[in-house]
Amino acid sequence: MTDPSTHASRLPADLLRARVAADPSRPLVTFYDDATGERVELSARTFDNWVAKTANLLVDELDAGPDGVRRAVLVLPQHWQTAAWLMACWAAGVETEVVDPSAIRSGDGTGEPRPSAEPYLLAVAEEVLDVVLGGELARQADAIVGLSLHALGGPLADAPPDVTDYALEVRSHGDRFAPPPGVAADDPALTVTKVTLNFAGLVRAAGESADKWGFDSSDRVLVAMPFATLDGVLAGLLAPLVSGASVIIQRNFDKTQMERRLALEHVTAVAGLPGRDDASGSVRRLA
């Protein structure tokens, strides 16, 4: 269950600071991509360092924050870097909207973000960068960042001239971040399925979800939900963060690995993986 003191937090950045102070070395985020064989494990401190570097990039180079660009559209898959971008945007006071790259590839319009006349940043996975650059989403963006999502931190294979290469640029930024003044709890934080939550509402939803799902510091939660859904954001990042649990973000899941992964990672709950008694893929605890 969540620590009652976390319910007093009003910003997601408060949750991460509390986690780093309480338990800096234990894994916070583990990532698997079964298509590439990749496994990455990040402690709370290491994840916080990536968040800080990304937030500094946003503020120092991309003019993001309360007095600059206040919205970001993330065309990113289930990935640990997506989680880091979400937290970095929130630390900088930037509203986020995540678009599943598979929806962009399908071209059916279901993944399009809400229309906006205000400036926004666009962060795009390399796998759909060409498609996005040819569309209206890129033409209206204030700045575009490309993410290779390479397992070893490699740059984009071919970075267009107007695209910032995240893997190259983030390295030079500091791993400590001072939040800018003016980030308010009632500022918009996340738009998902056409609904916008403010920062305080997002933190409240994280605590309520952690309590509903019974998460505590002993839990290891395997999540195969996209961050383009509210449950994906809550189960894949914020509910584990607020409760002291660890999250395992799963991409391109190979079902033949299920039993081995559950045992190897000491998984206590899953989300996005239908079971024999629950075909919905909602969060469920394991016996």
Kindly list the structural domains of the chain, giving each domain's residue range(s) and its CATH number in brackets, ordered by start.
4-285 (3.40.50.12780)
Sheet holding 163-165, edge to edge: 163-165, 143-147, 121-125, 71-75, 95-99, 188-192, 195-198
Q: Is the torsion defined by CA of 25, 27, 33, 34 positive or negative?
A: positive
Residue 268, number of CB atoms within 10 A of its CB = 19
pLDDT at 85 over 70: yes
* Whole-angstrom distance, CA of residue 225 vs CA of residue 155: 26
Lowest pLDDT segment from 82-86, 221-225, 273-277: 273-277
pLDDT of 4 above 60: no
85 burial via Cβ count (<10 Å: 0-12, 13-18, 19+): buried
CB within 8 Å of 117: residues ≥ 6 apart? none
Determine the Cα–Cα distance for residues 188 and 190; give it in Å rounded to an integer.
6
Q: Is the pLDDT of residue 111 over 80?
A: no
Q: Which residues pair with 123 in a beta bridge?
A: 74, 145
Confidence of residue 152 (pLDDT cuts 50, 70, 90): confident
What average pLDDT does range 175-200 have in this prediction? 93
Q: Please list the residues that pair with 246 across neighbouring strands.
A: 220
Give the global pTM. Answer: 0.94
What pLDDT shows up at residue 193? 82
Mean pLDDT score of the chain: 91
**What pLDDT score does 168 carry?**
97
Q: Quick one: DSSP state of residue 38? A: E
